[in-house]
Structure 1
Amino acid sequence: MTWSGFLAFLLASIVLAMVPGVGTAMLLRQSIRGGRRGAVATVAGLELGVAVWALAAALGLSVLLLASEVAYQALRVVGVAVLLWFGVKALLGRHDPAVPEPPTSGSGFRAGLLVNLANPKVAVFAISFLPQFVSPDAARWVLVAVAGLWVVIDTLWYLVVIALLTRIVGWLRDSTVRTRLERFSGAVLIALGIRLAIES
């Protein structure tokens, strides 16, 4: 990878990390429910999911997903179901006006991991994004290193988001605000699930 290619990769990775999506919506929901601890656990899960797809792309394994229409559609159905389940739970679930018992870190980690593992768009994106910055004859470890750097940049951005959310944690803990934000995050997750379902 040339220096110009490396800088282009860094810029593209930063921009892509900053674009709100499923991960941001899930992070907001888990921050409201579990505070900083829950948010960090969610990021760990999200990034492990990204790392799995990035490594699969680096090793050429995820190409099998694109080669099989059945496998892709099956993963898409699972992805839609996961997003709708989390979304409906957040939107229509019982919201106690009292400060809720913080969920365990494990629940945030599992939520983040499940959302990204079941998201075919992450897999397809990894396949189409990473190889653009590495020459076809490059050693496999170069693509693996690029995949790892992508995960690091994505993680750093989410940590910035957590730092910003931590500054308004008192506001987030207000029962009315908490309920509205959790319902909003649920509506966003449902919308993303519907979008994934109808996209070709």
Structure 2
Amino acid sequence: MALDTWAAFLAASTLLLLIPGPTILLVIGQSLGGGRRAALPLVAGVALGDLAAMSLSLAGLGALLAASATLFTALKWAGAAYLLWLGVKLWRAPVAAAAPPAAPPRRAFRDAYLVTALNPKSIAFFVAFVPQFLDATAPWLPQAAIMVASFVVLAALNALGYALLAGRLSAAIARPGLRRGINRLGGSMLIGAGLATARS
């Protein structure tokens, strides 16, 4: 892969990742509640979810999803239902004067992985986005490996940045009323993302 093509891919991917989506909303919500200690399982879940989605896209699942309305719809509804469930759970989360305990690492990892991997729009997006940076005259596998590895690293760093920022704000947001408002805002955004996914 040519250096200028790789640099263009990194720049485009960075811009896309900086726009918060359902995954980042989840990362922020759980980091606000759990502080910095919640960051690593969330970041690992995001990285593995992006690795799965992008690898499956490049392996042909993205093209299959684009061609099969039934499969796309099933995956879309699964992702939408999970986002709605997380949004309602965050909306109803109890608040206290002290910061709530962090979600167990395994659950935080699972939630971040599923929200990231179960987004059919991401898979379809990778199918449309990645070929723009492929050189048809060069071997496909090394190019795909470089792009997958680059995107996963950028996605993990992006999630880590949001998680650390939210974790730092967690200590400053101690009032139960403020925490409740943040939970409801985050829950509403996740519910909205779930509804938008269902309607797409």
TM-score (norm 2): 0.91
The answer on whether the counterparts of 1:50 and 1:116 sit within 8 Å (CA) in structure 2 is yes
The answer on whether the counterparts of 2:76 and 2:198 sit within 8 Å (CA) in structure 1 is yes
The answer on whether the counterparts of 1:45 and 1:109 sit within 8 Å (CA) in structure 2 is yes
The structural deviation recorded for 1:27 is 0.6
The structural deviation recorded for 1:58 is 2.5
Where does residue 136 of structure 2 map in the other structure?
Answer: 136
Where does residue 147 of structure 2 map in the other structure?
Answer: 146
Where does residue 95 of structure 2 map in the other structure?
Answer: 95
Q: Distance in 2 between matches of 1:92 and 1:162?
A: 21
Matched, 1:104 2:104: yes
The aligned amino acid for 2:157 is: L
Where does residue 26 of structure 2 map in the other structure?
Answer: 26
Which stretch shifts more, 116-125 or 158-167?
A: 158-167
- 1:99–1:2 Cα change, 3 Å: closer
Q: Distance in 2 between matches of 1:100 and 1:187?
A: 19
Q: Distance in 1 between matches of 2:184 and 2:73?
A: 29
Q: Which runs of 5+ in 1 are unaligned?
A: none
Where does residue 188 of structure 2 map in the other structure?
Answer: 187
Q: Distance in 1 between matches of 2:58 and 2:70?
A: 22
The answer on whether the counterparts of 1:25 and 1:185 sit within 8 Å (CA) in structure 2 is yes
Q: In structure 1, the residue corresponding to 2:86 is in which secondary structure? A: helix
The structural deviation recorded for 1:148 is 1.2
TM-score (norm 1): 0.91
The aligned amino acid for 2:94 is: R
The answer on whether the counterparts of 2:57 and 2:123 sit within 8 Å (CA) in structure 1 is yes
Q: Distance in 1 between matches of 2:161 and 2:188?
A: 24
Percent identity between the two aligned chains: 33
Q: Distance in 2 between matches of 1:186 and 1:17?
A: 21
The alignment yields a C-alpha RMSD, in angstroms, of: 1.7
Alignment length (residue pairs)? 199
Which stretch shifts more, 90-99 or 152-161?
A: 90-99
Q: Distance in 2 between matches of 1:121 and 1:56?
A: 13
Where does residue 6 of structure 2 map in the other structure?
Answer: 6
Q: Which runs of 5+ in 2 are unaligned?
A: none
The answer on whether the counterparts of 2:35 and 2:168 sit within 8 Å (CA) in structure 1 is no
Matched, 1:164 2:165: yes
Where does residue 118 of structure 2 map in the other structure?
Answer: 118
The answer on whether the counterparts of 1:54 and 1:147 sit within 8 Å (CA) in structure 2 is yes
The structural deviation recorded for 1:44 is 1.1
Deviating 4+ runs (over 3 angstroms): 93-99
The answer on whether the counterparts of 2:79 and 2:118 sit within 8 Å (CA) in structure 1 is yes
Q: Distance in 1 between matches of 2:157 and 2:93?
A: 31
Q: Distance in 2 between matches of 1:75 and 1:172?
A: 36
Q: Distance in 1 between matches of 2:166 and 2:32?
A: 9
